[in-house]
Amino acid sequence: MKIVIIGGGASGLVSAIYAKNKNNEVIVLERNSRCAKKLLLTGNGKCNYWNSNIDYTNYISDDLDVLKNIITNENKKEALNLFDSLGIIPYIKDGYYYPLSNKSSSITEALILECKLREVEFINDFLVTDIKKEKDKFVIKSNAEEIIADKVIVSTGSKAYPKTGSDGMGYDFASSFNHTIITPLPALTSLIVKRPLKNCKGVRCEVSLKLYEEDDFIKEEYGQMQITDKGISGICTFNLSGIINKGLNKNKKETIYVNFLPSLNLNEKETITFLQNRESKITGRNIEQLLEALLDYHIVKVILKSSNINSNKCFNELNKKEQSLLAKNLISYPLEIVETDSFNHAQVCLGGIKLSEINPKTMQSLKEENLYFTGEILDAAGPCGGYNLAFAFITGMIAGKGVNNA
């Protein structure tokens, strides 16, 4: 068979490794001058490629019942065995897997080398403009030439981070074969709020974030939050961004409540008592000075202003209403989310090809025989921490095996 893989990213390269055998000609078509451009940038160039907690329940998808048949224990084990066979030794920190070299190039070069050793053909700078089915063959066209294939694996990525080549063209290919595309939305990206934290740009702080949609609690995340000129960023915000975008797309009100003192684990009443005790212990300080030992002074100023409190007063000089509002803003500061950052700054996409239209055992389309899809083009988005690369590797592996077994 002649098998063409469109896209030389994470899932495309793994697809090629499994698809190639002595009877198959396998060609990877890559629009960039080299493969795995986005993979090289992953994890700030360190490539967090896996997580010890990979499970289908950690992903957002309209078809989790299908996803659970893709992310199985057997498939996870085989994908990890692949990296072991490629000589990748993991450095594991808090469940996050990195190559021991701490360089994403170790992953990309290992995958590309394995493809070359198996005699996979690479054609770089090849921009696919159209795919057609003529009788039992696929005709893959670029502006300059066309390639005929028996089977096609589409591994083009989503619309996230388009400067790496993922501009959403794969959705058009899938649509032309009657696939349903769940609206792609930016995910794992920063959040834009209605009232930004003024003069706090660049400040980082350990927080807990509670997300509410309308009046319903949705999810809580812990970690380091970075304040931007338009809102908030950081892994804990990234992990909420996909859910938020999905809600905003349905005109839902999305609000995050920031606990600036998560390590103290206090409710509002306990926070008041804590500040009262703190003031009696650390004398001669006004409320601003009392809080600056706990929080960055830029945040302190914002909280005091939001609470309409004179910073020169001592805590015990505040009336009960002022004390209550201050305590509330310290442990549950409201930020109304108006939108997320764009595809240009998103690590992945929410949405994509509906999983119920894919055979989870082969990744073959249920709409068109001998057409396969892998990776981020599919409707499955995970949090930060290697989940999305794991999905790319697993689906690439399944598709590569699938073209030989289907």
Q: pLDDT of 37-75, one tens digit each? A: 889 888 788 999 999 999 999 999 999 999 999 999 999
How many whole angstroms separate alpha carbon 381 and alpha carbon 158?
Answer: 11
What the block records as the tokens of 300 is 């302190």
Buried/exposed 253-276: b ≥16 CB within 10 Å, e otherwise: ebbbbbbbbbeeebebeebbebbe
R_g (Cα) of the chain, nearest Å: 25
- Give the pTM: 0.94
Q: pLDDT of 111-150, one tens digit each? A: 999 999 999 999 999 999 999 999 999 999 998 899 999 9
What pLDDT does 162 receive?
86
